Structure 1
Amino acid sequence: MPSNAFLAPLPDLLRVAVVGALAYVGLVALLRVTGKRTLTKLNAFDLVVTVALGSTLASVLTSESVALLEGLVAFATLILLQMAVTWLSVRSPRFQSLVKATPALLVYRGAVLEDALRAERVSREEILAVARSSGATDLSEVGAVILETDGSLSVLSKPPEPQARTSTLTTVSDAPRGPAGPQRT
């Protein structure tokens, strides 16, 4: 084991502290300027940007070969790319369909949709766990379980008998339509 495995020279420690503080301030400033949407995890590309920002910060902190300015440019590049993808997604349904998945219905009115579970690689045990964590004591109490575009599972309580209203399931693929299912309004 090298003798400096646990200790580092004072100049190296000072570099980490100073560059780390400046990189942190720079990243926070960029995130404040670009808005809340930059760090949301609404889909896969948002998650990739969040992880990449963390990895870049770690590289700037721990690698002497990465200058502070290089790290700040990397932050700005990642954030600008994320902003461009979200800007295009909002304005172009075709582009949005390329970069974003659609939510998938896994349980509807207490019934587990086995084909959907297999297609999305979700186990029945995971469905039961998410139902329990939402407070359901029986699957029949669950109106829907949806695999969201960011990979999280949403549990909706079973609604009262359908009336004229806007359902949150209208954009979920394979959601039943008609009197028992979501209505598009």
Structure 2
Amino acid sequence: MDWSELFGLSLNPWELIVRGSALYWFLFLIFRVLMPRNIGSVTVADVLLLVLVADASQNAMTGDYRTVSDGFVLIGTLLGWNSLLDALTFYSPTMRRLLEPPPLLLIRRGEVLHRNLRREFIAFEELKAQLREHGIDDIGQVKAAYMESNGEFSVVRMDGGEVDTPPKSAKDRI
């Protein structure tokens, strides 16, 4: 076993520090300043963007690109496409229907729509747990329950009363 091959550095450590720092601050500015977003609104497109940005960043940090600027351009391109799609879905109802799934009805007037549960691989127990998080212990109390496009559940009570909204994070529970 060649220990120097296993633990040796392929790039100058200062180059790695500069590349890593430049990418960190570039991504920090983009995600904290230019693209602030509520964590509850993360969509499939956002997850895809994060995976692609992570891959592009890794290549820019480790030197697979010749310059850090190559990484900046690629990441900027990915963020540009994501922003364009976000704007299109915001301004165009047609694009919103094409690019975002509609809410899926899971309960109608106290009746569970098992076909829709199967379609999204939601176990009946998981549905009941979601209802309990909304303060409902009897399915008969539910006028309608939906799985929204961001994966969260929304519930409308049969009597029109308030439905408890589960906290988004541990910080909100305090």
State the TM-score, normalizing by the size of structure 2.
0.72
RMSD: 3.1
Q: Residues 96 and 155 (structure 1 numbering): CA distance in 2 closer, same or farther, change over 3 Å?
A: closer
Q: Residues 12 and 146 (structure 1 numbering): CA distance in 2 closer, same or farther, change over 3 Å?
A: farther
- Counterpart of 1:154 in structure 2 is 153
Identity value in percent: 23
Equivalent residue letter for 1:17: I
Q: Secondary structure at the match of 2:7?
A: coil
Deviations 1:52-88 (A, max 9, x none): 2223223323x32123111111121111111111112
Q: Distance in 2 between matches of 1:147 and 1:113?
A: 12
Q: Distance in 2 between matches of 1:159 and 1:5?
A: 67
How many correspondences in the alignment? 160
Deviations 1:4-32 (A, max 9, x none): 46523395433332211110101122334
Q: Residues 38 and 140 (structure 1 numbering): CA distance in 2 closer, same or farther, change over 3 Å?
A: closer
Give the 5 Å matches for 1:1-185.
2-4=2-4, 7-9=7-9, 11-37=11-37, 41-61=41-61, 63-66=62-65, 67-140=67-140, 142=142, 144-150=144-150, 152-156=151-155, 158=157, 160-161=159-160
Q: Distance in 1 between matches of 2:83 and 2:39?
A: 11
- 8 Å contact 2:141–2:159 — kept in the other structure? no
Q: Secondary structure at the match of 1:17?
A: helix
Q: Distance in 1 between matches of 2:139 and 2:118?
A: 19
Q: Distance in 1 between matches of 2:144 and 2:134?
A: 12
Unaligned runs of 5+ in 2: 162-174
Which sits farther off after the overlay, 46-55 or 72-81?
46-55
State the TM-score, normalizing by the size of structure 1.
0.68
- 8 Å contact 2:147–2:154 — kept in the other structure? no
Q: Distance in 1 between matches of 2:132 and 2:2?
A: 50
Q: Residues 105 and 64 (structure 1 numbering): CA distance in 2 closer, same or farther, change over 3 Å?
A: same
Q: Secondary structure at the match of 1:36?
A: coil
